[in-house]
Amino acid sequence: MNYLLSPSLLSADFTKLDREIKICEDNNVPYLHIDVMDGMFVPNISIGVPVVKSIRKITDLVLDVHLMIVKPERYIDAFAQAGADIINIHYEATEDCVPVLKKIKALGKKSAVTIKPKTSYKEVLSLAEYVDMFLVMSVEPGFGGQSFIESTLKNVEGLAEYKAKNGLNYDIEIDGGINLDNLTRPLDAGANVIVAGSAIFGKEDIANRIQQFNEVMSKYENK
């Protein structure tokens, strides 16, 4: 199994974004996690299509675009054209995920579904055949820097068990409150894609933080 770090640009310094993305590139980061918020699905507004398009121009890293927006089906084409590699929709944000996921795949992108902390993994198992990745939120979505919700590990464990039992290949991503002190908890539960924001970009030595995350994750790669 591949273990992948996806630093969250929500916590980056946008006045130095090109420099901080370059640090990620120089330290073998595979993904960049981009949170898109509409102020309706979550109580915050972040970035949109133009910023994703601009980021695409300065990096070849995989853009892991997390749509925290109502009716994400309205914007799939736009984010695909902007350069998203993975388009991640919330289970709770649309009436029927299946046609949206099919559209994402038809556009040649990887599809993903996110669940909030209070949503059970059991509610999305029927979507397993349509996704490349499930994302488990380990904080309430909307703001960076929150504390990790321990009970969300049940969702990671449930998705990992279902994956193994049925011989499936989807990735399991976790996002929210992950730092070096608790990193092993989601890894032990079965997550293989780790989103970290303030634990990486909120520190002076971004490169060192990335290396510390990678060092821990590499131990799981070799198990």
Closest by Cα among 154, 201, 210, 199 to 176: 199
| Residue type present at position 124 | V
Q: Which of 77, 175, 188, 205 is catalytic?
A: 175
**Domain coordinates in residue numbering, the chain:** 4-221
Distance, in Å, from the CA atom of 11 to the CA atom of 199, rounded to the nearest integer, reads 9
Q: Which of 18, 26, 35, 85 is catalytic?
A: 35
Element (H, E) at 125: none
Sign of torsion over alpha carbons 108, 111, 104, 129: positive
Distance, in Å, from the CA atom of 64 to the CA atom of 59, rounded to the nearest integer, reads 13
Q: For the chain, give the longest Cα–Cα distance.
A: 46
pLDDT in tens, 58-92: 999 999 999 999 999 999 999 999 999 999 999 99
Q: Which two tokens stand for residue 3?
A: 């273990």
This prediction has a pTM of 0.95
pLDDT in tens, 146-184: 789 999 999 999 999 999 999 999 999 999 999 999 999
- In the residue annotation, 35 being an active-site residue is answered as yes
pLDDT in tens, 17-67: 999 999 999 999 999 999 998 877 877 778 899 999 999 999 999 999 999
Looking at 3.20.20.70, 3.10.20.600, 3.30.465.10, 3.40.190.10, the CATH number of the domain 4-221 comes to 3.20.20.70
